Amino acid sequence: MNSLWNRFKYSVQADLHSVFDKKESKNPIAMLNQYIREAEKQTASVGKLLERQSKLKAELQKELGEAEKMADKRRSQLDLARTAGEEDLIAFAEEEVAAYEARATSLTESMMEATYELISLERKFEEMKHKVKDMKVRQLQLMGKENVTRAHHRMDQVISPEEAEDRLASVNEMNQYIENLGGKIERDYETSSMERRLESLEDTAVKKTEIV
């Protein structure tokens, strides 16, 4: 599970701007599509492992219930054997009680560990799904920018062919332009995020001043 999670973390969990920092002559949207497909594949795999972990926990719970039930039964039989004075049955029942109690203790510890691990995995799984969703949202944002850029380029070719030729002379330059635009989207997003936090600090400071 840790190995699977690490593979996802290294391939997906990094912020989207790291994709655009790569010096590759690929369309950024094509690169993003590849990342999203891989993320969805990994998420589906983790979902199956979570389902399996939940079933294993249920099996542990079942075994624990059976062990506790048999321990109670042998304790009752032990009392009867002692009342009857059957030494061999007493010895057998005592061994059985000890065995079932030890098994129940071990299963209880396993259940606690399985419950903790399942909760941890479920939280990470939800985080994975949020990451994939965020990437899809940014995919739509970048696709919108790409469409606008291509539309402007084609209109410029008709309205001002000389200027369009100078600005975007080839498909490679077009892709580079879109890639740079993608990077700008990330920088603008980070800047606006920082601005919102600074404005929040200002509001908090003003409120404290008013209270004083």
Mean pLDDT by 10 residues, the chain (212 residues): 54 48 57 82 87 91 94 92 90 93 94 90 87 84 79 72 56 58 56 61 68 59
2-10+26-211 under CATH 1.10.287, yes or no: yes
Helices vs strands, H then E, count in the chain: 6, 0
Rounded to whole angstroms, how far apart are CA atoms 171 and 189? 27
DSSP state of 22: S
Q: Is the pTM of this model over 0.75?
A: no
Gyration radius of the chain over CA positions: 32
Cα 84 to Cα 73, 74, 78, 91, 164, distances in angstroms: 17, 15, 10, 13, 105
| pLDDT value of position 164 | 54
In the three-class reduction of DSSP (H, G, I as helix; E, B as strand; rest coil), residue 92 is classed as helix
Q: Is 39 exposed, middle or buried (0-12, 13-18, 19+ CB in 10 A)?
A: buried
| pLDDT value of position 170 | 52
| pLDDT value of position 32 | 77
Rounded to whole angstroms, how far apart are CA atoms 37 and 44? 11
| pLDDT value of position 181 | 58
Q: Which helix (H) or strand (E) holds 180?
A: helix 171-211
The letter for the amino acid at 22 is K
| pLDDT value of position 128 | 86
